Structure 1
Amino acid sequence: MKKNVRLKVKPSYVKGLKTGFPLITEDAVQNISNVKEEGTIIELFDEKNVFLGKGYYGKQNKGRGWVLTQNSQELIDQEFFEKKIKKAINHRQDLFNNYETTAFRVFNGEGDGIGGLTIDHYNGYYVLTWYSEGIYSFKDEVIASLKELVKVKGIYEKKRFAVKGKYIDDDDFVEGEQAPSPLIVRENGIHFAVYLNDGAMVGVFLDQRDVRKTIRDQYAKGKTVLNTFSYTGAFSVAAALGGALKTTSVDLANRSRSKTQEQFSVNGLDYEDHDIIVEDVFNYFKYAVRKELSFDLVILDPPSFARSKKHTFSAGKDYPDLLAQAIQITERNGVIVASSNCSTFGMKKFKEMIASAFKQTGGTYNILEEFKLPQDFKTHKEFKEGNYLKVVFIEKLS
């Protein structure tokens, strides 16, 4: 039986919680430091003892838990989790029924009503990601609910929290049948090799599904393509399948070469026809300028924060300079796919960064189209940080 603790919310935070803001921050609640056990049920009240919400205690970045319900009578039990997960599954029925796509998000944290938990589907296998010890304490209820609602081949988990200051890199397999390694999944007919038991990232970022399809179907044919921060080359494969003349994938990680070769191969493409370069992207930009290289389509999807031996990159500060370098090696009337998953700024600020980069280079541009998270990455309207993805297709005019 979970402990229940009553806590008072500071007056300046009451309005936000009343309107549905789901994150419980340390600053918002009096004496939250008195709660010691993760997974404790927290009941929140204002100064006049008016009930505001109920959730759980769990340390996740700056958060100290999530509000799960504004109904004081609702219990946080097996039935609660099953109801939330069932609603999430119903929201994604078109994906469950889509033969061409077998990898997608089933449950997206606070967007589906339970902050700190995501569930991804990979061809009948499910990967649960826990973002705090607090939500992890509900593991049995979540797994039982999932198995009650869908046919499950096997379950894996990722723990994105530290225990006693250390991240636990133990076996991610939980129960059921073990997935092949690699497991081949489909996304709009594109094949991807994923590894469910190989650390925090499995080999493809599911939130870019719509962007990859658009590159393949509308922008790649007959083009030379540069894919920077390419990871396992998913954008490159999409471009190649769309008829790109040649793709160049650049990433600093040594394993990016073999991983990208594998993604080409599982799609019946000869990776020898494409360039796969293990290099710091910042150094590659300098090299490309020096060699007077240019591309018709440049994909710029850096991590929010990255550090190499010579460079430190923070998206909120350094994206305009990075984009300015990409502009230099993009052909006139070429297209830049500018993307950021940094949650500290929104689309408006991102467009200001784009304007700043073109001002730096003295060029002009036209915004062709924009993307945010796909429909399976459901977001919470009061929690802007959860709607993190920003992708802009930019035509370089001069």
Structure 2
Amino acid sequence: MAKTINLQVKSDFVKYFKSGYPLINKDAIKNSEVLKVEGTIIDLFDDKNQFLAKGYYGTQNKGRGWVLTRNKQEEINQVFFQGKIKQALDYRKALFEDPETTAFRIFNGEGDGIGGLTIDYYDGYFVMSWYSEGIYRFKDYVIEALTNLVSFKGLYEKKRFDDKGTYIEDDDFVAGERANFPLVVKQNGIHFATYLNDGAMVGVFLDQRDVRKTIRDKYSEGKHVLNTFSYTGAFSVAAALGGASKTTSVDLANRSKPKTIEQFSVNGLDYAAHDIIVEDVFNYFKYAVRKQLKFGMVILDPPSFARSKKHTFSAGKDYPDLLKQAITITEKNGIIVASSNCSTFGMSKFKGFIEKAFKASGETYKILEEFSLPNDFKTIKEFKEGNYLKVAIIKKES
């Protein structure tokens, strides 16, 4: 590693670092022009030259790096990384011992002390995701730590950075033995076909584990369930396993249909008894209204931002309108599962979106349950943006 570089924090931002805020924002640094080589260790000082924190330089969205320690004497080396990863593994001990769950997160960035790095577990295989070139410079430390701490079948990686901040496609295999795909894993007994070598998304979002279980166990029985922005149909499978009379999965991506068929099949379900539709969700809503379709449950889990030929969706701006359309086609006493992974607003604002949509629709509602990230997606209170997931299970009362 290059020698440590000293950075001076602007006076307005000192309080954030003193309070434990981990992201080193570009606007917080006076002399950011000295940052040249990603992965460089940086020491942060206030305007009185008092040490604040030590971290690394790595460009990630608006950030220029992450705080790693507030101990000036602590070295950022293999021992440091191994210590953090051991703590993270110990924290997930119960999940490793759960025979019904073989896929979960074992390291969640700043929540486990190293921003810019996540590690997921898929039945003996570990997938490391690197969110900047800076953190990628520490790759050997992470691999050595995993090698020392756990037995694994194989290691894969996702390089989620380039000049535009998008995913870099690569072979993804790193070490050990290659998996045979699909690699079928479980969460709460629900099976998922995954592909660790197939781009940024492997086939299931691990952060919705608790929500899928709740949909299966409490809300699906006897209902016709509409799953919008359905991706590979994970929510649809959960609903079908919970006794839904039928599920309808809608997603614009052509590959969503064969992927959803596969997810039904690995769970021993007859996919032909369900509707799997490749269509713009917004067009499907119009179709459903025109045909006077009503659903016992509507699941809304859109991406934070999406664009099709005719529609652009931004969660922070357009979620209330999306929810209004869902309300229209939900039966009285039906359920809406409203979800967002947008990190720019919290649960309070999200509940404001729900209130706005129901008020505009002239309907009444009750929020039955709320969810944020499951416990393996560890977060810290000093970085609220890290706890990005917001899910409300809503009963339409009128």
Under TM normalisation by the shorter chain, which class is it?
over 0.9
Partners in 2 of 1:210 and 1:82 — Cα distance?
A: 29
| Superposed displacement of residue 72, structure 1 | 0.4
Deviations 1:46-75 (A, max 9, x none): 111111000000000000000000000100
CA, structure 1 residues 84+10, in 2 after alignment: closer, same or farther (shift >3 Å)? same
* TM superposition outliers: structure 1 runs of 4+ over 2 Å: 163-168
Contact 2:167 2:200 in 1 (8 A): no
Which sits farther off after the overlay, 164-173 or 231-240? 164-173
Aligned to 1:41: 41
Aligned to 2:271: 271
| Superposed displacement of residue 166, structure 1 | 7.7
SS of the equivalent of 1:351 reads helix
Which consecutive residues of structure 1, in runs of 5 or more, have no partner in the other structure? none
Partners in 1 of 2:294 and 2:223 — Cα distance?
A: 11
Deviations 1:17-59 (A, max 9, x none): 0110000011101111221100000000111111100000000
Partners in 1 of 2:379 and 2:41 — Cα distance?
A: 23
Aligned pair 1:351/2:351, yes or no? yes
- 1:191 aligned partner, one-letter code: H
Aligned to 1:311: 311
Contact 2:196 2:202 in 1 (8 A): yes
CA, structure 1 residues 17+166, in 2 after alignment: closer, same or farther (shift >3 Å)? closer
Q: Over aligned residue pairs, what C-alpha RMSD do you find?
A: 1.0
Aligned to 1:95: 95
Partners in 2 of 1:68 and 1:355 — Cα distance?
A: 40
Partners in 1 of 2:182 and 2:2 — Cα distance?
A: 39
Aligned to 1:283: 283
Alignment TM-score, normalising by the size of structure 1: 0.99
Aligned pair 1:121/2:121, yes or no? yes
Aligned to 2:146: 146
Aligned to 2:334: 334
Contact 2:125 2:153 in 1 (8 A): yes
Aligned to 1:21: 21
Which sits farther off after the overlay, 283-292 or 31-40? 31-40
CA, structure 1 residues 120+167, in 2 after alignment: closer, same or farther (shift >3 Å)? closer
1:6-85 residue pairs with structure 2 within 5 A?
A: 6-85=6-85
Deviations 1:287-317 (A, max 9, x none): 0000000100110000000000000000000
Alignment TM-score, normalising by the size of structure 2: 0.99
Partners in 1 of 2:197 and 2:165 — Cα distance?
A: 22
Aligned length: 398
- 2:368 aligned partner, one-letter code: L
Partners in 2 of 1:96 and 1:165 — Cα distance?
A: 33
Aligned to 1:224: 224
Aligned to 1:199: 199
Which sits farther off after the overlay, 169-178 or 269-278? 169-178
Which consecutive residues of structure 2, in runs of 5 or more, have no partner in the other structure? none
Deviations 1:264-305 (A, max 9, x none): 000000100000000000000000000000100110000000
Aligned to 1:387: 387
Partners in 2 of 1:305 and 1:181 — Cα distance?
A: 29
Deviations 1:310-350 (A, max 9, x none): 00000000000000000000000000000000000000000
- 2:173 aligned partner, one-letter code: F
Aligned to 2:374: 374
| Superposed displacement of residue 169, structure 1 | 1.6
